[in-house]
Amino acid sequence: MELIQHWAGISFSAQNGDPEGLLTAAAAGSLPLSDVVPRPGGFSARCAAWHYRKLAALARKRRVRLRIQKRCGLFFRLRPLFQRRGLWAGCLVFLPLLLWLQGFVWFIEPVGLTPGQQARAAVVLWETGLFPGNVVTQDKLTAGEYALLQSGEFSWASLNFTKGKLVAEAAVAKPVPDIAAGTLHGLRAKVSGTVVSTNLVSGTMLVVPGQAVEAGQGLIGTARTERDRTLIFQPAAGIVRAQFEWEDEQEAALTLPTEQLTGRQTVRRTLFWNGQSIALPSLHPVPTASEAKAVIRHDQPEAFGIPFPCFIEETSYYYKEVVDLERTEEQALAIARLQSKQALQANWPDFELLARKEDVSVEESTLHYRVVYTIVANICK
């Protein structure tokens, strides 16, 4: 009885007339009452909501006035929702729509990838049409797996799609170990210099430390003579480090036109869903590439932690202007030295610097820099 009344119960009072006869008639008609309390001129009690109409009919016959004091139970809390037709119509529309949207990408769950690898994998999947708000097909999943493998970063990839969730699993490709491989035509000197040290891996060393060599001279040969004077041919491999001079020239302008940001900014947003795009309203026109620098960000809207199957592309335009940047001779010299060091590093990655001789001059707002490095490096080619 209490469980029924927790669903829908009514507390009422009965006054005047024949309340004792009403209680007898309710018991005879199988209308159970609870919490019956005598009151002056009648009583108060509780009953199930669906028994109240029959109880009221019996009360009218005995001239008893019933007055509802309180409605309680879950039914009366939900009754306002039952009366809202729009809510039920929305549910009827939402459920089929939700089932249909299960074929779209709601979010991508990467497995076993670092944040950097996740970002690069997302770019690869984007190019194959696998991004939030787009329809997923088996052809797209296959194309996405092949694209991840062809990127060269992953040795294995698998894409699984279930009810809006795209799970991307991949294994990072291990670097190929370096194998000592020589050449069959010998190693020669790139530049002229004096040999400092040698390290033979395969073949025949043709020079010794302290020996002066010319550009193009053989350093490591491919023939080796055994004790019985038998010639054995081996690939030439090894290192010959020599001391030599390397020259470089750079120019640095003292007045340089450069682009600087003005502080002005405008933002335009575009909504993408299922291959369609809708430009959101904006009060500012789109600037040209010469007027502003564009930075694009992608944001997926969500509610209560649940992402929607769409995304918003936000393009921020930072306005810029061309101004003349004035440099001092010290600043221009520092830039020229840096560029020369970068060129030295690019040409001789394993260099060891011994000495440096510089020549600096300024002509017509341009600094001319000439430097001669004395270095030790591997000169084999």
Lowest mean pLDDT among 14-28, 45-59, 100-114: 100-114
What is the pLDDT at residue 358? 92
Closest-CA residue to 378 (of 196, 202, 207): 196
The pLDDT of residue 45 is above 80: yes
> For the chain, which residues make up each domain, given as ranges?
2-78, 102-172, 187-243, 249-254+327-378, 261-320
CATH for 2-78, among 3.40.50.2300, 3.40.50.720, 3.30.70.260, 3.40.50.300?
3.30.70.260
CB-based burial label for 184 (10 Å; 0-12, 13-18, 19+) = exposed
pLDDT > 90: what percent of the chain? Answer: 19
Among the ranges given (22-26, 173-177, 356-360), the one the predictor scored with the smallest mean pLDDT:
173-177
Position 98 scores a pLDDT of 62
Q: In what order do the strands lie in the sheet with 218-221?
A: 187-188, 218-221, 204-205
Of 134-143, 169-178, 305-314, 323-332, give the range with the top mean pLDDT.
Answer: 323-332
pLDDT at 178: 45
pLDDT band at 340 (very low <50, low <70, confident <90, very high): very high
What is the phi/psi pair of residue 190, to 5°? -75, -40
Question: At how many degrees (to 10) do helices 52-61 and 19-28 cross?
Answer: 130
pLDDT in tens, 68-122: 888 887 777 777 776 667 766 666 666 666 666 676 777 787 887 888 888 888 8
Report the range of poorest mean pLDDT among 2-11, 149-158, 217-226: 2-11
Q: What tens digit of pLDDT does each residue of 85-99 get?
A: 776 666 666 666 666
Q: What are the strands of the beta sheet with 292-299, ordered from one edge?
A: 276-279, 255-273, 311-326, 292-299
Q: Residue 313's pLDDT is what?
A: 84
Assess whether pLDDT exceeds 60 at residue 180. Answer: no
335 touches 357 (CB < 8 A): no
Domain 102-172 has CATH 3.30.365.10: no
C-alpha neighbours within 13 Å on the C-beta side of residue 197: 5
